[in-house]
Chain A
């Protein structure tokens, strides 16, 4: 089936961003244009979900034409049940980010909005590429807008954070580039990912390929011990940057595992699974403890993101249906919850200009409506049943117990740790007596803030109560992937 939907999802935001850049210093116009482009970008992705054939395990909405014939690189797009939801999530979050930066960003508004729109388009490109070089090109290009966003609109230590973010990620992806070139040559001159999935590879090259991909994706996820860029990037980035980073960019790494590592090097994946599980458990437990002692709210949420992403990688490498699907649900759910948490911190930061937990206290007395939302999202972050956070974690734990009881047990500690660090933060920030006069002067959320928080709250609750629309979409593709991984390619 030929269609232009995926191209639209990629290029509407990017071309729209160029138009937004063109307005220059007309801030009001830039905001409204960015909002229109973001909404349009979201609307064009809706048919991807509505017309999605859930029974089909293969690629849908395929577009394929030659791009660089000299190297046989194709403009080859398509989505399956694994990737389609991320395109929707990404386009949806972009709308929220534009709204969240509405009044907060006062300088270089057009550039700020444009950078987010470009990033949104590039990330849709990553999720829909079926040509490895196309994937790589989008993957690396998406670093540029994020680098600029952190560096130009970030906090006091933004330069350090921006460089660390860029160089760390580049390190991994350059190793992946060599791996892609190697695969191109050994597949007889093709960058077609679907062909690579069928390629027979010896064990040693498989392990090397797996490690090269691991370098790229582990940094992006981020997995312990290459996670240290994330807290820095989150703390320094403006609210919108943190939202996109947590909600979408981290998912790119996890998505890469499903698209590259597992199907291209299945034997190496099985062979190295114990290592991956160990790294994931370290992320879940150790980083959970690290989150407990944070003094900065954004840092706390950043560590909580790493811990939750550890759950995702854990779900992938236990190789059963419920584990992988749980991990995917967790990715989507974490997209909503982390976005909401960072937006909440942003709401408070805009009023008090501090992210330190110690600078708050008793916010509930001055911002009751806001407190309601924040407590809800905190509960979701801790994995309370009936919120989306519970579904994914529960599925992964079920899968892990199936795989090995002790791994399941260790993974389940996250329910305690997550509750501990999130609720303790909430207790110190929200409840108790009023912290100081700055807190006393806080005003409750306005209509704009209510809009994005309420939308996210709705998503979190809907997904927690009725996750079927999400799992239904991914079922066939995950099933197909697991069957593929179970067959040796040696």
Chain B
């Protein structure tokens, strides 16, 4: 038996292995040096992520390589998403450092949990089996549950963590149940194997569709789509802002990958079933997200509902793949979904980054009114936030416009012109609450005239973030082509 063992090809997973090794080392270093040299932990964490990015970049090629007994895949889509995840996590850490330090929250656990969450996302992105997806998802989720409760003494954070944990476990259970159905019907958990079995038509369709319902529910929960969205506003509001920033950024990329792997790569033969489910989720998310956001007075809750509506748009893109024998027909839909989620992460980082920038010890930016007169306090960062808000509203020349445009193009191409009309009408409603933030920043006098203080690296990065929102809006082609290419080479 032992002689049959073939050592797996570790090369495609070198970034993950590097990250695990470094995480273990950082764990020891942090325990040894303690609180006095926290800068060491944070610098090492950033270095690890940069190292991962280098490894992923250097080992990137357009080949699809399976390893670990077909549990793990390395393709262009996974490399592209991983690079974006590293980038988002690096930005999130740099935005968060001052905030955490000022509140005594820059514990070693933060950096380690962030690293493990990153690992979870990497595993999800590279999953070639339902089981691997589940493993990655749990690693990510457990790290995030703990991170939400990072501020132990805050009852709100603890409540949010409990809520997130209970609902998240329920969703994981649903997902697992759906996977078991798929396994029962096809006899395999490998995504390629499932697709093969479906293609041959040997599986029992009733069981499959039954399982599919649970899988779609699980995905919808992780994305935060209506009616599985209840946790999003509470967690965004309850969690410390840096953790909300983390939850609102990189995990969306992983959730997109999860949806792609399971629905498009694995269950494509059932597309007509899951497309109609996604349409319902998308329409509800866009409607409820935009309507509920109007009623919010808390900026983090407002951004939570804005996330929900954005995820609705993402689902719109995912449901627009044209079902046909040739998967290339579906290119429009999935590349626009990828582009949309990348644009969303960029905007989300900018929005939460500005909130962190304005917070200072003893003063939390919680309410929309806290943005009053930002233009007089700091014209530059008011301009950054304005760019992000108009971008989220989908106004040109900002990255969000082309993101929404490419999704609408895919939707109309799939023949759902009335869904597109519906989506733009709700974008109009959505524009209202983004404009309201601009109104507070530009039309009102500041209540609090304290100057904005922040470290140089944060100022620089937030400026780059704002510039990216504008530049990718004026020159969208590079990013659009990259997304298209990544999806094309991995389909």
Contact = CB atoms under 8 A, between A and B. Distances in A.
B428 interface: yes
Nearest to B477: A68
Contact of B476 (A24, A68, A148, A162): A68
A211 B14 CA distance: 57
Given A178-B417, A185-B413, A143 B424 contact: no
Contacts of B435: 147, 163, 166-167
A126 to B, nearest CB: 12
B390 interface: yes
Given A24-B379, A68-B402, A141-B397, A178 B439 contact: no
Contacts of A147: 435, 438
A137 B470 CA distance: 13
A140 interface: yes
A184 interface: yes
B425 A174 contact: yes
B183 interface: no
Contacts of A108: 375
Given A70-B477, A70-B484, A170 B412 contact: no
B89 to A, nearest CB: 28
A143 B428 contact: no
Interface stretch (A28-36, A93-101, A151-159, A301-309): A151-159
A178 B408 contact: yes
A158 B412 contact: no
Contacts, number: 90
B395 A178 contact: no
A136 B413 CA distance: 19
Nearest to A133: B405
B340 to A, nearest CB: 14
A162 to B, nearest CB: 7
A379 to B, nearest CB: 38
B443 A174 contact: no
A440 interface: no
B480 A68 contact: yes
Contacts of B402: 68
Taking each of B396, B397, B417, B425, which has the highest tally of chain A beta carbons within 10 Å of its own beta carbon? B396
Contacts of A163: 432, 435, 439
A19 interface: no
B22 to A, nearest CB: 37
A170 B435 CA distance: 12
Contacts of A144: 390, 395
B476 A152 contact: no
Interface string B374-406: 010001000000000010000111000110011
A69 interface: yes
Contacts of B379: 21, 24, 111
Nearest to A184: B409
B116 interface: no
B443 A151 contact: yes
B405 A177 contact: yes
Q: Which secondary structure dominates chain B's binding surface?
A: helix
Nearest to A139: B396
Interface in A45-100: 67-71
A413 to B, nearest CB: 37
Nearest to A25: B379
B167 interface: no
Contacts of A70: 477, 480-481, 484
Given A71-B409, A141-B397, A144-B395, A167 B439 contact: no
Interface in B433-491: 435, 438-439, 442-443, 476-477, 480-481, 484
Given A67-B477, A163-B432, A182 B443 contact: no
What band does the interface of chain B fall in when counting residues whose beta carbon is under 8 Å from A? 20 to 34
Given A140-B395, A140-B396, A175 B421 contact: yes
Contact of B406 (A71, A111, A174, A185): A71
B278 to A, nearest CB: 20
A278 interface: no
A268 B438 CA distance: 40
A73 B431 CA distance: 25
Contacts of A175: 421, 424
A178 B420 contact: yes
Contact of B442 (A148, A171, A177, A184): A148
Nearest to B410: A181
Taking each of B413, B424, B432, which has the highest tally of chain A beta carbons within 10 Å of its own beta carbon? B424
A162 B439 contact: yes
Contacts of B186: none
B84 to A, nearest CB: 18
A137 B420 contact: no
Contacts of B432: 163, 167
A143 B390 CA distance: 11
Contacts of B390: 144
Contacts of B408: 177-178, 181
Contacts of B409: 71, 181, 184-185
B440 to A, nearest CB: 10
A177 B395 CA distance: 12
Interface string A444-473: 000000000000000000000000000000
A170 B401 contact: no
Contacts of A69: 477, 481
Contacts of B438: 147-148, 151
A68 B474 CA distance: 10
A99 to B, nearest CB: 24
Contacts of B439: 151, 159, 162-163
20 contacts: A24-B379, A67-B477, A70-B477, A108-B375, A111-B379, A141-B395, A144-B395, A147-B438, A148-B438, A152-B375, A159-B439, A163-B432, A167-B428, A170-B395, A170-B431, A174-B427, A177-B424, A178-B420, A181-B408, A185-B412
Given A141-B396, A148-B438, A178-B408, 17 more contacts: A67-B477, A68-B477, A70-B484, A111-B379, A137-B401, A141-B395, A151-B442, A151-B443, A152-B375, A163-B432, A166-B435, A167-B431, A167-B432, A171-B428, A175-B421, A177-B408, A185-B409
Interface of A: 21, 24, 67-71, 108, 111, 133, 136-138, 140-141, 143-144, 147-148, 151-152, 158-159, 162-163, 166-167, 170-171, 174-175, 177-178, 181-182, 184-185
